[in-house]
Amino acid sequence: MELTTPKLKHTQLLIVFSGPSGAGKDSVLRRLLRSEAELVFVVTTTTRPMREEETQGFDYIFVARDEFALMVEAGEFIEHAVVYGEHKGVSRKQIEVALESGKDVVLRLDVQGAARIKQIYPSALLIFLTPGSEDELRFRLDGRETETSGRIETLVNSARKERERRTEFDYVVLNQRDKLDQTVKEVQEIVRAERLRVRERAVRKDET
């Protein structure tokens, strides 16, 4: 089966949010999507358990491991990887539909997923969200009340490695506790500035 790569239109942004678990990506995205009508969010498919505050099909598409394996075999993902021990993937069809809308497209990915999308779409806009210190990260992970102490240390160790790759991103945004509005405002300013120079991020040869 021959697979095709969805194309970016010449005045579109493909925005990728990434950062360690606990950086607040979900909170920032929820607020951003409510305030920005010209954004289309591509929902990631995952095998991890759904958290109490999450909604199927909105936060993630939650599937069993065997179903995920069948989707991989069928070539349904444009990018997929194992993240913190669970499988995650981005639907090729969802990206295609999102790009056809003509609106700016938003993805939420781990660091390796962001790097893969950058290979496919060199003009993608990569934003790295960080909670700041490791103590702050531990505080947030502990606040979930779903993570064991061992799991928290695993996530903190992963965050160290992810932080080392932040130079691969176009922007690094500090998401401070109790300052969500400020973080969202900074992201909005980035998006608006990039829209003004979007032709400089026009589709490159790799994407045609």
Report if residue 1 sits inside a domain: no
Please determine, for residue 144, whether its predicted confidence score (pLDDT) is greater than 90.
no
- Domain of residue 173, CATH code: 3.40.50.300
**Both structure tokens of 120:** 């496919």
Report if residue 79 sits inside a domain: yes
pLDDT at 131: 92
pLDDT at 205: 35
Q: What is the mean pLDDT of residues 25-37?
A: 92
pLDDT at 208: 43
> Confidence class of residue 203 from pLDDT cuts 50, 70 and 90?
very low
Report if residue 53 sits inside a domain: yes
Report if residue 125 sits inside a domain: yes
Please determine, for residue 105, whether its predicted confidence score (pLDDT) is greater than 70.
yes
Helix, strand, coil content of the chain in percent (nearest 5): 45, 20, 35
Please determine, for residue 6, whether its predicted confidence score (pLDDT) is greater than 80.
no
- Which residues, in sequence order, are CB contacts of 190 under 8 Å at separation 6+? 125, 127, 171, 173
pLDDT at 202: 47
Please determine, for residue 66, whether its predicted confidence score (pLDDT) is greater than 50.
yes
Q: Where are the beta strands (DSSP E) in 12-85?
A: 14-18, 39-41, 45-46, 61-62, 77-83
Residue 83 is part of which domain span? Answer: 14-199
Report if residue 9 sits inside a domain: no
What is the rounded average pLDDT for all residues in the chain?
88
Report if residue 122 sits inside a domain: yes
CB distance 174 to 132 below 8 Å: yes
Count of domains for the chain: 1
Tens digits of residue pLDDT in 33-42: 999 888 999 9
202 or 15, greater pLDDT = 15
Report if residue 153 sits inside a domain: yes
Please determine, for residue 126, whether its predicted confidence score (pLDDT) is greater than 80.
yes
> Confidence class of residue 148 from pLDDT cuts 50, 70 and 90?
confident
> Confidence class of residue 195 from pLDDT cuts 50, 70 and 90?
confident
The residue among 13, 17, 6, 5 whose CA lies nearest residue 109 is: 17
Please determine, for residue 73, whether its predicted confidence score (pLDDT) is greater than 60.
yes
Please determine, for residue 99, whether its predicted confidence score (pLDDT) is greater than 60.
yes
> Confidence class of residue 150 from pLDDT cuts 50, 70 and 90?
confident
pLDDT at 145: 76
Report if residue 92 sits inside a domain: yes
